[in-house]
Amino acid sequence: MPHADHWTAADLDNIPEDGLRYEVLNGQLVVNAAPKPRHQLLIKGLERALDAVVPSGHIVVEGLGVLIGDDEPIPDLMVVTVPFDLDDRGIPVEQVKLAVEVVSKSTTLQDRMAKPVLYGEAGIPNYWRFEINPFRGQLSGECLPVLFAHELGDDKTYELTHRVAAGDTVTLRSPFEFTIDPATLLP
């Protein structure tokens, strides 16, 4: 168990498998319930679409932790370089080229605030966030889901490069060329 109220990724090895999702963010244990079908279907659709275009030497992975010092956040989806140790507890941050989060009601603050800061400071070059529920700042007539694509700036903070609503199509160029209409990710 943690020492002096500071959790590490290694502490997760001592937590029983109980169907909940445990992450360590900034030394704090974060527990989330299982996601809803809309969340998982979007991830599945995105994974299929990315698998079709991911460059050689890269792979799309879901539900694995990214090792950032003592922290181990779990992006909903990542594009990482291969090879990596299949028996390690997560993916080394240096191998992560894209981290994707799908915002749920229970993960709003982590996905919009905490994780982008952590990912940026760790040097992950691309961060995509999908909004699947009505949200503050949603534009009039903007259909869900909405993709916010970010690239890492020189100051290790993310800069918004694209805001793409369902029904709109855009070609992203980073971390590789990828054409997307968020509407196609859900049945």
Q: Which two tokens stand for residue 3?
A: 């020492």
Residue type, 168: D
Instruction: Give me the pLDDT at residue 107, please.
Output: 85
pLDDT, position 82? 95
Return the percentage of the chain with pLDDT > 90, whole number: 72
Distance between start and end Cα atoms, the chain: 42
Mean pLDDT across 110-121:
95
Q: Give percent of the chain with pLDDT exceeding 70.
A: 94
| pLDDT tops 80 at residue 176 | yes
pLDDT value of position 1: 54
pLDDT band at 33 (very low <50, low <70, confident <90, very high): low
